[in-house]
């Protein structure tokens, strides 16, 4: 028997996976796999999904959810030393990491590609005692995803993030930060900072030069500038020209140390991140994955 641990989040996106469960199971059964499902619950830690991992020889872990769900599963696996491959069914609101890897949004197509693919390795980010697959961020608006009600996200999708962001505009302010890597130093005022393993955040393609296999993280710092200069900068973001702007600091690094004494939170893949100071590292080839284009 070939077993697949199937972890699905029934709350992700528009609850799409609930209507596709039979399709996921039938495609795998026809390919000779036995699905062992685990339904994520809001009142139970996802680590419960791996209680039988030592007694069952799983070929891979199939994760149906958004970036936050994938992040939660990867964190549990990394901390427990579980090194079997993962595969993603992107049914969340943004699905930034899956899109970066070229994984189809169609469930049936994604399942077939996963089953017929070979294992590849991509980089994994670590931040203090946690891990992230797509992006770690801090500064203004970084807690928007955490503050957005899951029911609203499921109803109106990505628009919920934008509406919540507008709601946070009265808190707009300059933030003092100190950042150091093996090749770059910055000490000054910023609005927000993102450290990418992937390319997009909230479907905005920001780390346009990111490569998930280069052993480096892409760091983008949006400096504190006069409000009137933000609109031209935003237009550059939409055009993908912001990395060359004098108002943006961009560099690649293996390790980044960040200090900040402001009253702000950190975010990793849409979930609350650790407190400052932050030690962020790239683990080259740290994640085994299936279904990558």
**Residues that are catalytic:** 271
Going by C-alpha positions, the residue among 224, 207, 202, 218 that lies closest to residue 256 is 218
Rounded-to-integer distance, Cα 142 and Cα 119, Å = 33
CA distances from 222 to 32, 70, 180 (A): 50, 27, 16
CA distances from 170 to 72, 147, 160, 186 (A): 31, 15, 18, 26
Q: Which residue has the tokens 């609930």?
A: 18
CA atoms within 13 A on the CB side of 182: 9
Residue 56: burial class (beta carbons within 10 Å; 0-12, 13-18, 19+): exposed
Rounded-to-integer distance, Cα 227 and Cα 237, Å = 16
């Amino acid at each position: 028997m070939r077993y697949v641990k199937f972890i699905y989040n029934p709350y992700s996106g528009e609850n799409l996976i609930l209507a596709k469960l039979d399709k996921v199971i039938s495609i795998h059964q026809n390919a000779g796999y036995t699905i062992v499902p685990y339904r994520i619950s809001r009142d139970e830690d996802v680590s419960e999904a791996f209680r039988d991992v030592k007694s069952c020889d799983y070929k891979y872990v199939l994760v149906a959810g958004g970036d936050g769900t994938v992040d939660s599963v990867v964190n549990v696996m990394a901390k427990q030393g579980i090194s079997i491959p993962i595969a993603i069914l992107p049914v969340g609101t943004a699905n930034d990491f899956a899109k970066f890897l070229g994984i189809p949004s169609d469930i049936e197509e994604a399942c077939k590609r996963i089953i017929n693919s070979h294992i590849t390795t991509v980089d994994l980010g670590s931040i203090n005692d946690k891990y992230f697959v797509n992006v770690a961020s801090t500064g203004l608006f970084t807690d928007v995803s955490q503050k957005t009600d899951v029911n609203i996200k499921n109803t109106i999708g990505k628009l919920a993030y934008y509406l919540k962001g507008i709601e946070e505009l009265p808190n707009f302010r300059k933030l003092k930060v100190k950042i150091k890597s093996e090749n770059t130093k910055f000490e000054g005022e910023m609005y927000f900072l993102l450290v990418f393993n992937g390319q997009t955040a909230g479907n905005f393609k920001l780390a346009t030069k990111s490569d998930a296999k280069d052993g480096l993280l892409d760091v983008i710092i949006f400096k504190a500038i006069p409000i009137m200069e933000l609109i031209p900068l935003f237009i550059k973001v939409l055009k993908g020209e912001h990395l060359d702007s004098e108002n943006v600091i961009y560099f690649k690094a293996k390790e980044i140390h960040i200090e900040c004494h402001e009253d702000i939170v950190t975010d990793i893949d849409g979930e609350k991140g650790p407190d400052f100071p932050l030690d962020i590292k790239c683990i080259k080839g740290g994640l085994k994955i299936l279904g990558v284009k």
